Structure 1
Amino acid sequence: MLLRLIRQNYSFFLPYVILLIVVGSMLSQLDRTVLMRWINGYNHPFWDRFFYYLTDLADGATGFGVAVGLLFVRFRWALAAGLSFLLAGEFTQLLKHVFYEGELRPSAFYKNSGWAFHTVEGLNLHSVNSFPSGHSTSVFALCCLLTLLVTNKNWGWLFLGIAVLGAYSRVYLFQHFVVDIYVGSIIGTVTTLVVFAGLESYWKNHPKTWLDRRVRLRRSL
């Protein structure tokens, strides 16, 4: 089931794997400060505003809203979305607050470094619990799920682009290091893929008619 889903949705997974290899190579060869200085140096007022608002798309609330919206399309999709987002989010929070609790974010890490890094006006910079990125987990979980659900698989390219921009916004806004969004993207993608494949396989062997139903709004006269 997993391999079949990956093959069917190659427009998302193929470029994503290539991206993982490229960014992973950069992380293994370059110091994180080098990457942060390079990214932080490419800033512009337009991108400041663009990423300031775009980053909200990567918030967990967006995924929750999509899960609720899917109740009006198909129950099975809403359940898959809710379980995927819940498990991915909880695993990320476990890493953040238990195994990597207190991990400094860029603004705190470079606070006394003498580096006058660029920040976006009006943005509240967090200081701890940097690894991994919760926003990156959420946006990749969401975009992976949408790719799995849509009939036109060419949309996978668009969904991957949205996920990458959402995750990149966290580094541009100086909220996370590159490794934070890298791992967050893997958690979101893998969790969603495994949950979706597992549920589809189970439901195939244990069919339930109500799973293909949806919430219907009653029309008022």
Structure 2
Amino acid sequence: MLTPSIYMYIIFISIVFYLVKEGYWNNSFTNLYTTIKSNLKLFLLTLSLTIFSILVLDLPISEYFSDRDNLTFLNHIIAMINNLGDGSFIFSLFTTLVIISLIIKKDKYRRILLISLSSAIYAGLFNLFLKIFFNRARPYVNLNPYKLFTYGNTHIFRSDYWSMPSGHTIVAFAAFIPLAIHSKNKILKFFFINLSILVAFARIYLFKHWLSDVIIAAFLGTMIGIMTYQHNNIKQNNETIKAL
């Protein structure tokens, strides 16, 4: 008998296959490079902030949050916000919303939801390689912000050494930025952007990541969100024109 987790993997693989087949990730690396290049000043600022954070801010900030009271009401709220960046939660949420949009025949919602879903999945997979590459110890493992590239200690496939970049943060930004771009409502734009920022804060507050981890993750998630939205929005507009 198949377990729920097996069913989830089957659904995940099926959706990934569909997204690849429909071209949601066509030329994704080239498009991501182009998007980052067109935001070069922001990239350089992010790089500078990340380096400055590693050298100056990471340790004192993590030390501060390491001493927080684990029984406060705020911690429960932060933990709920933290779940909004969890890959399995984002996947389940957007997959459910896509299915609902199909049932009620709201094609415009289905399109943007699929764009956000594809952006989040791409960000999660891309981030996995970055985590393995940087191989950085999380603050709760070792309060040493300089502990990166620890391949020699056989930590390469241990999640305790997958601190940089923050997976929750990059997935949250990648999922919600397309919604923020697409929305014409300023309140909704503000909501989606700040939801992502709150997830990033939660990762630091819960002592799971260094500040520099979420800085670089927020940038990459934003770039992936912009790239995925622009690529697929143009693709869908072209398909609409061809159909006329």
TM-score normalised according to structure 2 size: 0.62
Instruction: Tell me which residue corresponds to 2:113.
Output: 78
Structure number with higher helix proportion: 2
Between 1:63-72 and 1:88-97, the stretch displaced more is 63-72
Instruction: Tell me which residue corresponds to 1:33.
Output: 59
Instruction: Tell me which residue corresponds to 2:91.
Output: 64
Could you tell me whether the CA contact under 8 Å between 2:169 and 2:214 is conserved in 1? Answer: yes
SS at match of 1:154: helix
Could you tell me whether the CA contact under 8 Å between 1:106 and 1:127 is conserved in 2? Answer: no
* 1:168-189 superposed Cα distances (whole Å, 9 cap, x missing partner): 1111111111111111111211
- Which stretches of structure 1, 4 residues or more, deviate above 4 A after TM superposition? 19-26, 39-44
> Could you tell me which amino acid in structure 2 is paired with residue 87 of structure 1?
Y
Instruction: Tell me which residue corresponds to 1:203.
Output: 236
Could you tell me whether the CA contact under 8 Å between 1:131 and 1:180 is conserved in 2? Answer: yes
Distance 1:131 1:39, change over 3 A: same
> Whose RCO is larger (CA < 8 A, sep 6+)?
1
> Could you tell me which amino acid in structure 1 is paired with residue 116 of structure 2?
A
Number of positions where the alignment pairs a residue of Structure 1 with one of Structure 2: 179
Instruction: Tell me which residue corresponds to 1:49.
Output: 76
Report the Cα distance in structure 1 between the residues aligned to 2:229 and 2:198, rounded to whole angstroms.
24
TM superposition shift of 1:49: 1.8
Instruction: Tell me which residue corresponds to 2:125.
Output: 90
TM superposition shift of 1:153: 2.7
Report the Cα distance in structure 2 between the residues aligned to 1:156 and 1:22, rounded to whole angstroms.
27
Instruction: Tell me which residue corresponds to 1:190.
Output: 223
TM superposition shift of 1:163: 1.2
Report the Cα distance in structure 1 between the residues aligned to 2:231 and 2:67, rounded to whole angstroms.
43
Could you tell me whether the CA contact under 8 Å between 1:141 and 1:188 is conserved in 2? Answer: yes
* 1:141-163 superposed Cα distances (whole Å, 9 cap, x missing partner): 22212212323133222222211
Could you tell me whether the CA contact under 8 Å between 1:70 and 1:77 is conserved in 2? Answer: no
TM superposition shift of 1:137: 0.9
RMSD of the TM alignment (CA)? Answer: 3.2
Could you tell me whether the CA contact under 8 Å between 1:35 and 1:178 is conserved in 2? Answer: yes
Report the Cα distance in structure 1 between the residues aligned to 2:166 and 2:230, rounded to whole angstroms.
24
Instruction: Tell me which residue corresponds to 1:118.
Output: none
1:110 to 139, 143, 151: 143
Report the Cα distance in structure 2 between the residues aligned to 1:20 and 1:154, rounded to whole angstroms.
26
